[in-house]
Amino acid sequence: MLSAHAAKHVWGRLAWLCDIARIMSLPTLDWNWIGSQAHALGIVRILCVTMLLANRLLNASIPAAAEAFFKDDPETLSLANEVQAHIVSEHVFNVESPAYCRLMMRLRERPADRRRFLSRLVVTPCPGEWQAVRLPAPLFPLYRLVRLSRLAAKFVRA
C-alpha cells in the first residue's frame, strides 16, 4: 500500500522511499504473499517501480524472492527510468496535467484498472472545480458537470 500511495504522488517524498527501502530489508517478509497480494490488487508494476527506485536512489537491496516480480513486465524498467529522472529533476507533477494522467495509466497493468482510473479522473471534482464555481452545498453533485466542462475546455485548447 505504501508503494501505491507513493505512486499516486509520483514518489514525491523521499521519506516514502526510505520507509519502503527499510521494509524491503526486513528478513522475515513473505515475498510470495506480497506478490500474490500485489497481483490481486493490480499493483505489481507499481511495486516493482518502487523497489527499483529504492534500489537506485537509496541503494536498497531487492530481495532475490522479489526479483521474480520483474520478469513478466518490460514496461517496469521504462517507468522506473522516467520516474527517476522526474525525481532527480525536483519537478513537481501537476496532477491535472495530461503527463500525469499518461503516467498513472501506464502504471496500471490491467485494462480494467486503467478504465477505472480514467473514469474517476474524468468525473471526480477537485479543488480546481471548487475554485472555478462556487455552488451551495445542496448543489454539490453538480461539480461533476463543472469537472466535465473544464476537461472539455482543456482538450479543446490543447
| Cβ atoms < 10 Å from Cβ of 63 | 16
Q: What is the mean pLDDT of each run of 10 residues along the chain (158 residues)?
A: 92 92 93 93 95 95 87 87 90 81 93 92 87 92 91 80
Q: Which long-range contacts (CB under 8 A, 24 or more apart) does 93-96 make?
A: 93/10, 93/12, 95/126, 96/126, 96/128
- Name the grid cell of 133: 464555481
The pLDDT value given to residue 158: 63
| Cβ atoms < 10 Å from Cβ of 99 | 12
Residues 6+ apart with CB under 8 A from 131: none
The pLDDT value given to residue 102: 92
**Of residues 53, 61, 60, the one with CA closest to residue 88:** 53
| Model confidence, pTM | 0.84
The pLDDT value given to residue 62: 92
